[in-house]
Amino acid sequence: MTTPRLHLAGITKSYPGVVANSDVSLTVMPGETHAVLGENGAGKSTLMKIIYGSVKPDAGTVMFNGQPVHIRNPQEARALGISMVFQHFSLFDTITVAENVWLGLSKRLSLVEVTHSITAKASEYGLDIDPGRPVHTLSVGEMQRVEIIRALLTNPQLLILDEPTSVLTPQAVEKLFVVLKKLASEGCSILYISHKLHEIRELCNACTVLRGGKVTGVCNPALETNASLSSMMIGAEPPQLTHRALKAGAPVLRVQNLTLAREDQFGVDLEGISLEVRAGEVVGIAGVSGNGQKELLYALSGEDVRASPGSIRIGEADASRLHPGGRRKLGLHFVPEERLGRGAVPTLGLAHNLLLTRQEAISHPRFGGGWIRVGHLEAQAADIIRRFNVKAGGPRSAARSLSGGNLQKFIVGREIDAKPRLFIVSQPTWGVDVGAAAQIRGEILALRDAGCAVLVVSEELDELFELSDRLHVIARGRLSPSVPIAQATVERIGEWMSGLWHEAVQAHLDEMGDAQPGGGHHAQA
């Protein structure tokens, strides 16, 4: 019998008010790609942190390559040959990519050597990144590439990946899978956490299912269906979305020739961005991370107010120079991709986090001097927790105490509950389990059906195809023409992600022109 690479027995970990892991056993063989599946809050991330030495278990044993080990910290884990890519990145914002990677490697290596290694590894695996860039200038997708490269540079025997493809394009996912399959063929074991069931079925040859911190099943995912895996994970299949055909109403958001120079040397210039979102429609924006999404969302949310007058209109109002509070008064509510720090204050309770974008609980100076009505806030937060099935200790729970998926549900719920006229959301279901993702997408479609104008920026094409009425692609700071979802294909959108829509649009115009009497070009793309 081959000695298991990793064997866990009876792992238990409790926190005040919650048992994260209860008597969990797990075995991973050399060269095996082993999925750990479960809904948000099922205990997956806690279990991975125990393996990586970030969390100490209350009970249970850990065996690595047949030897009992007590992993006291990540440094000891890396020395054993265990590397981990976290869902919430562990990078220092104020230093460069190379310096971040250097911190986790041998002190015998110089920064120059590490920089060369990053460049070589990035080229080998198709994970494009500049080692000299400060981390605070990177998009979420680019930060994820840094984490993956940092893990690969340790030449791990066991690689733990927590939601590694959540902000990668289909092409980038394919490249990553080539890398992971090669690693597994060379004997590296992989623990893979993902909510994307089709990925697990394609990549993994074993799967352990957690529910409520306990193991509820072990299977070979290649022999399962998405429906059977969903049932094992959440006890039922996720509800099917209904995307009814609706006639869009009047324009709510109009962006005309928005051109903005980058604010830092590693940003992206926005060039001639024009788009329109009407009442009762969902417009999606696809694109590879780092192509101007961050800059566009800052301009639309009001965090960047440098736009030319008249270039951003909400309804009939010129919103170009309005700050976020002014835009909220016009009916705009916004969900950023960064949950902690931008979408929520980590140390504040959920109730007080409502105050970031909601003012109803602050009494008017005429009727009490601007006091916060805490009871009103807590009742509002409790309603959002109930409606969106957020697993939390209650309205006073600190935002940072929630799992990533549950915090995402709360933030999305907070903004939807405000009944927006215009709803802009970035990466709405990043790191969210299949049941919660279906719920969030259903709520977005319900908003749209109620007449709200919705703009969704996502790097998950499946999500955009499921939600959108029309699609744009952003590449190198430029925006493609919109394409009705009925005419969009994964192949076409994938090509456009490289900025190749000009040729495709011209070919379309030529075809349409040839079909006209006399061959004139009268069609609009």
Length of the chain in terms of residues written: 525
Give the residue from 203, 234, 265 where a domain finishes.
Answer: 234
Q: Which two tokens stand for residue 384?
A: 């959002």
**pLDDT at site 525:** 35
On the question of pLDDT at 101 being above 80, the answer is yes
Residue 22 contacts residue 214 (beta carbons within 8 Å): yes
Amino acid at site 390:
V
Q: Which long-range contacts (CB under 8 A, 24 or more apart) does 380-384 make?
A: 380/351, 380/354, 380/417, 381/349, 381/350, 381/351, 381/353, 381/354, 383/417, 384/350, 384/410, 384/413, 384/414, 384/417
pLDDT in tens, 110-144: 999 999 999 998 887 777 789 999 998 887 778 87
Extended strands (E) in 296-438: 312-314, 317-318, 332-335, 422-426
* Candidate from 126-140, 249-263, 462-476 with smallest mean pLDDT: 126-140
Pairing of strands 281-286, 470-475: parallel
Extended strands (E) in 125-250: 158-162, 189-193, 206-211, 214-219
On the question of pLDDT at 4 being above 80, the answer is yes
Q: Helices 434-449 and 226-234 sit at what angle, rounded to 10 degrees?
A: 100
Query: Considering the domain boundaries, does residue 386 fall inside one?
Result: yes
pLDDT in tens, 260-309: 999 987 789 999 999 999 999 999 999 987 899 999 999 999 999 999 99
On the question of pLDDT at 518 being above 50, the answer is no
Mean local confidence (pLDDT), 239-264: 90
Same domain as 408, residue 348: yes
| CA dist list (Å): 341 to 31, 348, 394 | 38, 11, 20
Nearest to 229 by CA among 204, 206, 197: 197
Rounded to the nearest 5 degrees, what angle is found at the Cα of 215, between the Cα atoms of 214 and 221? 145
Rounded Cα–Cα distance for residues 321 and 299 (Å) = 9
Rounded Cα–Cα distance for residues 312 and 272 (Å) = 12
Nearest to 166 by CA among 141, 139, 202, 201: 141
Same domain as 155, residue 47: yes
Which pLDDT band holds residue 459 (cuts at 50, 70, 90)?
confident
**pLDDT at site 136:** 87
On the question of pLDDT at 174 being above 60, the answer is yes
Give the residue from 380, 402, 419 where a domain finishes.
Answer: 419
Q: Where are the alpha helices (DSSP H) in 69-131?
A: 74-80, 97-103, 111-125
* Candidate from 11-25, 100-114, 169-183, 211-225 with smallest mean pLDDT: 169-183
On the question of pLDDT at 523 being above 50, the answer is no
In the predicted model, what is the mean pLDDT of the chain? Answer: 88
Same domain as 428, residue 412: no
**pLDDT at site 89:** 78
Query: Considering the domain boundaries, does residue 459 fall inside one?
Result: yes
Same domain as 432, residue 402: no
Which pLDDT band holds residue 506 (cuts at 50, 70, 90)?
low
Highest mean pLDDT, choosing among 25-34, 162-171, 438-447: 25-34
Same domain as 415, residue 425: no
Highest mean pLDDT, choosing among 109-123, 357-371, 491-505: 109-123
Residue 40 contacts residue 432 (beta carbons within 8 Å): yes
Which pLDDT band holds residue 391 (cuts at 50, 70, 90)?
confident
Residue 438 contacts residue 241 (beta carbons within 8 Å): yes
- 């209350």: which residue's tokens? 58
**pLDDT at site 209:** 93
* Phi, psi (rounded to 5 degrees) for 473: -125, 135
**pLDDT at site 257:** 97
Mean local confidence (pLDDT), 378-407: 91
Same domain as 162, residue 310: no
CATH code where residue 142 lies? 3.40.50.300
Which 8-state DSSP code applies to residue 407? H
On the question of pLDDT at 319 being above 60, the answer is yes
Query: Considering the domain boundaries, does residue 239 fall inside one?
Result: no
* Candidate from 163-172, 281-290, 390-399, 496-505 with smallest mean pLDDT: 163-172
Query: Considering the domain boundaries, does residue 481 fall inside one?
Result: yes
Query: Considering the domain boundaries, does residue 144 fall inside one?
Result: yes
Residue 63 contacts residue 42 (beta carbons within 8 Å): no
Rounded Cα–Cα distance for residues 268 and 261 (Å) = 8
Same domain as 200, residue 215: yes
**pLDDT at site 519:** 45
On the question of pLDDT at 170 being above 90, the answer is no
Query: Considering the domain boundaries, does residue 240 fall inside one?
Result: no
* Candidate from 37-51, 399-413, 422-436, 510-524 with smallest mean pLDDT: 510-524
**pLDDT at site 168:** 66
Q: Which residue has the higher pLDDT, 490 or 311?
A: 311
Percent of the chain residues past pLDDT 70, beyond the cut: 91
Which pLDDT band holds residue 163 (cuts at 50, 70, 90)?
confident
Same domain as 174, residue 64: yes
**pLDDT at site 520:** 40
Which 8-state DSSP code applies to residue 267? S
**pLDDT at site 515:** 55
Which pLDDT band holds residue 246 (cuts at 50, 70, 90)?
confident
Same domain as 350, residue 316: no
Q: Which residue has the higher pLDDT, 398 or 501?
A: 398
Same domain as 250, residue 122: no
Rounded Cα–Cα distance for residues 161 and 193 (Å) = 6
Same domain as 160, residue 62: yes
Nearest to 294 by CA among 418, 397, 142, 80: 142
Same domain as 302, residue 327: yes
Query: Considering the domain boundaries, does residue 359 fall inside one?
Result: yes
Give the residue from 372, 390, 419 where a domain finishes.
Answer: 419
Query: Considering the domain boundaries, does residue 337 fall inside one?
Result: no
On the question of pLDDT at 507 being above 70, the answer is no
On the question of pLDDT at 524 being above 50, the answer is no
How many domains, in total, are found in the chain? 3
Which pLDDT band holds residue 364 (cuts at 50, 70, 90)?
low
Percentages helix, strand, coil for the chain, rounded to the nearest 5? 35, 25, 40
Q: Which residue has the higher pLDDT, 123 or 363?
A: 123
Find the domain containing 154 and state its range. Answer: 6-234
